[in-house]
Amino acid sequence: MLILNKTAGIFSKASKRKTYEFLSSFTLHPGKQFLHKIVLGIETSCDDTAAAVVDETGNVLGEAIHSQTEIHLKTGGIIPPVAQQLHKENIHRIVQEAVSASNLSPSDLSAIATTIKPGLALSLGVGLSFSLQLVNQLKKPFIPIHHMEAHALTIRLTNHVEFPFLALLISGGHCLLALVQGVSEFLLLGKSLDIAPGDMFDKVARRLSLGKHPECATMSGGKAIEHLAKQGNKLCFDLKHPMQRAKNCDFSFSGLQNNVDKLITQKEKEEGIEAGQVLSSAADIAAAVQHAAARHIARTTYRAILFCQRRGLLAHTDAVVVASGGVASNMYIRKALEAVTDLTRCTLLCPPPRLCTDNGIMIAWNGIERLRAGLGILYNPEGIRYEPKCPLGLDISKEVGEAAIKIPRVIIKI
């Protein structure tokens, strides 16, 4: 049975007509055979409506994305029903654009892959309902995708990377470290105990009123912090990096966010300005918060590498560490991670920034990976549901904490 909640109704009669119109806008060639497998990927788990057509060799044949960032910046954060409405308004056009750009007909597709977990319920529902109708009409297999699995595997599209590798996935909604042993084999080493780093950056950027800053007005919070930090001095403020005494691979960012909040209130008093105006020390605060977050992320990743190396889960030389997710497009954080991978004789690999943030390519590629491995391909997707919350892989974070690995007293040069 389909998910029967508010979102299920959105693709009722009118929408079915739209799907029909969508399909009839292409010339269908039912008999055409392609050498390579070709997957249409659809992503709507948060605030980007994205689609892409990717083939087995990693060629991106067509791509389209509609970002809601600017709209959510105006409302001071993502309001789920607003995100849902924007997905509804854009999904047909975005999928159509991606397929048209590929110069293929929908019937040429080997399968349709769609993010069904984790994410915002209302947003996931739009992508799933749309995809199920498409799958039903085209009689194609459906591949449900875990958003974080897709972030982790993107690197295998851009680089030649074998399993196992360590993945650090840092975004607006997620923060985790996992050992990737296969397409759907993950060992979860640690995760954020509260908010994700992107969420923290977004909140700090809002508190700093960076939307009113002429250089940052259209940027996501994290991007604005990175941009402004380049003009600031990280040493002006001593923001303690989180969880200094922890011996596990978990993260925490809400304490840092609270400390920055207090600092901003104090600076507003000192500078005699009202909340809502941009502080003259905004760039220094941005640099300090970015530095504290980078140190926390780098040190926790350091411990995860040591854990994996000591347990024989990763090689002692030339193991690959992958950083992905929106926050991994931050060059300062990448530099901190590079310092750690140099110390541990690993190689840091990151997808290009546009593939770190949410996109349809990573979903289509995850579909290709699953198709090749013969994993989770549904020929009858009836009963499939979206899952707003869904852990990734086998959670061994307790074991990691019990190992209580100390990080050597070295300076992580950033």
Residue closer to ligand KG4, measured from CB, 117 or 223: 223
What does 376 interact with, of Zn ion, ligand KG4, none (CB < 5 to 8 A by kind)? none
Contact partner, 198, from ligand KG4, Zn ion, none, Cβ < 5-8 Å per class: ligand KG4
**Which of 184, 185, 187, 186 lies closest to 367, judged by CA?**
184
> Candidates 14-22, 57-65, 199-207, 365-373 — which segment interacts with ligand KG4 by CB under 6 A?
199-207
C-alpha closest to that of 37 among 290, 412, 306, 370: 370
Q: Which two tokens stand for residue 384?
A: 């499939």
Interface map 162-201 toward Zn ion (x if CB under 5 A):
---------x------------------------------
Comparing C-alpha atoms, which of 126, 124, 66 is closest to residue 97? 66
Q: Which of the residues 331 through 360 are near Zn ion (CB under 5 A)? A: 358
Least distance (Å) between residue 202 CB and Zn ion? 13
Return the residue of 102, 110, 114, 171 that touches ligand KG4, per CB under 6 A.
Answer: 171
198 binds ligand KG4 (CB under 6 A): yes
Select the span of 183-191, 195-203, 253-261, 275-283 touching ligand KG4 (CB under 6 A).
Answer: 195-203
**Six token digits for residue 313:** 């889960």
What is the rounded distance in angstroms from the CA atom of residue 49 to the CA atom of residue 66? 5
Q: Does 357 bind ligand KG4 (CB under 6 A)?
A: yes
Q: Binding ligand KG4 by CB under 6 A: which of 40, 46, 116, 287? A: 46
How many amino acids of this chain bind ligand KG4 (CB under 6 A)? Answer: 21
Which residue in the set 102, 248, 330, 341 belongs to the binding site for ligand KG4 (CB under 6 A)?
330
Cβ of residue 252: shortest distance to Zn ion, in angstroms? Answer: 20
**Cis link prior to 242 (omega < 30° from 0)?**
no
147's CB contacts (< 8 A; 6+ apart) are: 43, 45, 115, 117, 118, 119, 174, 358
Three-state SS for 43? strand
Whole-number Å distance between alpha carbons of 296 and 251: 8
CA dihedral 312, 196, 118, 396 (to 10 degrees): 30
What does the binding site for ligand KG4 look like in residue numbers (CB under 6 A)? 46, 171-174, 198-199, 201-202, 220-223, 226, 325-327, 329-330, 357-358
